[in-house]
Structure 1
Amino acid sequence: MNGHEPSGLEKYTWTDADFEVMGWHDGKIRAISVGEREDEQVPRLLLDLDYIVKWVDPAKPSRYFSFWIAPATLVFEAAWHVEGDLAPNGNLLEIADLHRLDSPDGPPAALWHIEGQNFDLRVRSAGYTQYFRKEPQHVSGQVLTMAQRGGLSFAEVPFA
């Protein structure tokens, strides 16, 4: 199996071809990078995420959900027209949803809209790759500690 059976994570690297089965709701953005690939002059947008792989129903007597969460790097290649509003107010950027919209002006690059509780981010890109950097961990909250996630990272290597 090329996945993590307890959490239901089927594979360690996902792309925009998997968009319909992915969900970023309540995931946290820990860091954002806009730059170029070292070996090419291709602009990129990278997000360091706490990605919620699975919500676990409460086990009685608890009334609270628990979560399988993994640190992940979400990379939009050949990214351009990056714009948005950030207003974290001391809180992590919490994702409400990620939308793939048709190009508004005809070029082949889709418009990706990352809608958040306290931010709004848009980027044009042909697609993305998301790398799960560590195995999902079963935790009681919707965010990993820095120790659990191994610090901040934009590594583009899956954990297995």
Structure 2
Amino acid sequence: MTSTWTETDFDSLGWHDIHVHGFRIVEGEHGVGDLWLDLDYILEWVPPAAKGGAFRFRIAPASLVFRDVTSLRLALDYATPTASMGPFSLDGIEREPISFDNGCNSFRWAINVNWPDGEMTFESPGFTQTLSGPIIESDAQYLTDAERNGDAPVA
């Protein structure tokens, strides 16, 4: 099984209901930086074994790193729903190709947050997503701290 993906794999990946535990910005040269997202990546939605049953999920901790990021906008609203602090959940990631007058090509990215309300937008030529822990099968769409830290049984 693949454990690393890039922007060339974008059409085969999905980020719906992915939970993000943290993010950071790593300063680069010439005004760009890398945007790191620490997430629980759902590798597979496992259909119910019986009619009326619930889906299960094959999940692994992962790092999603967008490189050479510019024009970052970030909005997360935990105040309006009076939500407690916790991982936020993605609706998905969209991209749009862009070309600059100097001949360089890149993408305009939109990371849509479905809970709490929010969005990240930025420009970046691409990303690398790497699994950083074991794959775990779960009833939930996210991992517990014990599962993320390798203290729980694997699938």
Q: Shorter chain as normaliser: what TM range?
A: 0.7 to 0.9
Q: Any conservation in 1 of the 2:22–2:87 contact (CA below 8 Å)? A: no
Letter in 1 for 2:148: R
Q: Any conservation in 2 of the 1:93–1:119 contact (CA below 8 Å)? A: no
Structure 1: 5+ residue stretches without partners? 4-10, 152-160
Once the two structures are TM-superposed, the CA of residue 102 in structure 1 deviates from its matched residue by 2.3
Percent identical pairs in the alignment equals 33
- Structure 1 residue 24 corresponds to structure 2 residue 15: yes
Once the two structures are TM-superposed, the CA of residue 92 in structure 1 deviates from its matched residue by 2.4
Q: What secondary structure, in the 3-state scheme, does the structure 2 residue paired with 1:109 have?
A: strand
Q: What secondary structure, in the 3-state scheme, does the structure 2 residue paired with 1:112 have?
A: strand
Q: Which residue of 1 aligns with 2:138?
A: 139
Q: Any conservation in 1 of the 2:22–2:38 contact (CA below 8 Å)? A: yes
Asked which structure has the greater CA Rg, the reply is: 2
Runs of 4+ in 1 over 6 A off after TM superposition: none
Structure 2: 5+ residue stretches without partners? 151-155
Q: Which residue of 2 aligns with 1:72?
A: 62
Q: Which residue of 1 aligns with 2:94?
A: 99
- The count of aligned residue pairs is 140
Once the two structures are TM-superposed, the CA of residue 105 in structure 1 deviates from its matched residue by 6.0
Once the two structures are TM-superposed, the CA of residue 61 in structure 1 deviates from its matched residue by 6.4
For 1:61 and 1:32, how far apart are their aligned partners in 2? 39
Higher strand fraction (1 or 2) = 2
Tell me the TM-score normalised to structure 1 length: 0.80
Tell me the TM-score normalised to structure 2 length: 0.82
Letter in 2 for 1:114: I
For 1:36 and 1:57, how far apart are their aligned partners in 2? 42
Superposed CA RMSD in Å reads 2.0
